Amino acid sequence: MTNLNNTPGDNPHRTPDTRLRMRVGFEIEYECPNPTPMLLSLNIHHSRASDLVRPDILVTSPAIPISAYRDLFGNWCSRIVAPAGRLVLRTDALVNDSGLPDVVAPWVEQTPVEYLPESALVYLLGSRYCETDLLSNIAWQQFGAGPTGWARVQAICDFVHQRIEFGYHHARRTRTAWEAFNEGRGVCRDYAHLAIALCRCMNIPARYCTGYLGDIRIAPIPGPMDFAGWFEAYLGDRWYTFDARNNTPRIGRVLMARGRDACDVALTSTFGLNTLQRFTVWADEVAMG
């Protein structure tokens, strides 16, 4: 009897193992003059649950009661009442990842509106930060005569990537897609909002995504680490990831929440006076030990 034990390197045609592990998490500190109710969208999306080596358990200091719920978009959320004074929110998770870049599928066609699944229809409509009514004529003038399907979404990403100048000093939490188009500056959420609005104007469902996106297997990008915003477009029979800010496939994207726009996936929604004192995010590749 012969035992054949395969080890790495035995098969010259073996597909390289691209898997990686990431440490992701945050620490956010608030100061509240009075007890303040908060809604939190700070957990990793349930679609990544099987990848969690160490779960992203939300820890508070001081320790306070936390209740969990699923919102209308299926995101894992939490409810707390922040005590008067200092409150620190923290998670620190280990996540396995395929190590593969975002899928690129240039052959995928656009699905006619009448054949879209009902669950996708809400992502054709205007929303708080994505004013399709204001951008519709611009979208059709810019993209109406061009290709459809994947190529149309990529053309929108190219346009937004060129249109907006990135800068953390440009951040403004009230900026809409229409304002980003006219001001020509913003941060990742502004790129996503404008691209989403233009896709919807062209009858392509698009939804906002937030999560972790570290500088995984690329040259470090200058600037502080932050949560990232990107979007998904419905083409063919599924959702695909697009990123108008970076405009290139990336590795190590960890989804936290999806919604119509950033209003639906706010990291924290506070119902009372508060001051954000500190905000730190990490998303780093670590050894697979």
The kind and range of the H/E element at 196 are: helix 188-201
Is the peptide bond prior to 249 cis by the omega test (within 30 degrees of 0)? no
Does 67 share its domain with 38?
yes
Asked whether residue 145 is domain-assigned, the answer is yes
Establish if 63 belongs to a structural domain: yes
Domain assignment of residue 105, yes or no: no
DSSP output for 145-183: TS--HHHHHHHHHHHHHHHPEE-GGG--TT--HHHHHHH
Q: Are residues 202 and 227 in the same domain?
A: yes
Q: Total domain count for the chain?
A: 2
HSE-CB at 58 with a 13 A cutoff on CA atoms is 21
- 240 belongs to a structural domain: yes
Same domain, 89 and 124: no
- Regarding whether 140 and 218 lie in a shared domain, the answer is yes
Are 147 and 233 found together in one domain? yes
What pLDDT shows up at residue 15? Answer: 55
Q: Is 233 found in the same domain as 278?
A: no
Report yes or no on 1 lying in a domain: no
In a domain, 222, yes or no: yes
Full DSSP string of 8-70: TTS-TTPPP---EEEEEEEEEEEEESS-EEEEE--SPPGGGGGGEEE----EEES----EEEE
Q: Are residues 241 and 215 in the same domain?
A: yes
pTM confidence score = 0.93
Whether residues 162 and 194 fall in one domain: yes
Backbone angles phi, psi at 122, to 5 degrees: -60, -25
Q: Domain of 59: which CATH number?
A: 2.60.40.2250
Amino acid 5: pLDDT: 40
The reply to whether 13 falls in a domain is no
On whether both 53 and 183 belong to a single domain, the answer is no
Nearest one of 153, 151, 237 to 199, comparing CA atoms = 153
Amino acid identity of residue 278, one-letter, is R
State whether 156 and 252 are in the same domain.
yes
Residue type present at position 235: L
- Rounded CA-CA distance 52/4 in Å is 33
Using H for helix, E for strand and C for coil, what is the string for 67-128?
EEEECCCCCEEEEEEECCEEEEEEEEEEEEECCCCCCCCCCCCCCCHHHCCHHHHHHHCCEC
Cα separation, 194 vs 242, whole angstroms: 12
Residue 128: domain span? 113-259
Task: Give the sign of the dihedral formed by CA 193, CA 207, CA 240, CA 44.
Answer: positive
Same domain, 73 and 177: no
Q: What CATH code is carried by the domain that includes residue 216?
A: 3.10.620.30
10-residue mean pLDDT profile of the chain (289 residues): values are 39 69 98 98 97 98 98 97 98 98 98 98 98 98 96 98 96 97 98 98 98 94 91 98 97 98 97 97 93
Q: Are 86 and 21 within 8 A, CB to CB? A: no
Whether 252 and 142 share a structural domain: yes
Domain contains 8: no
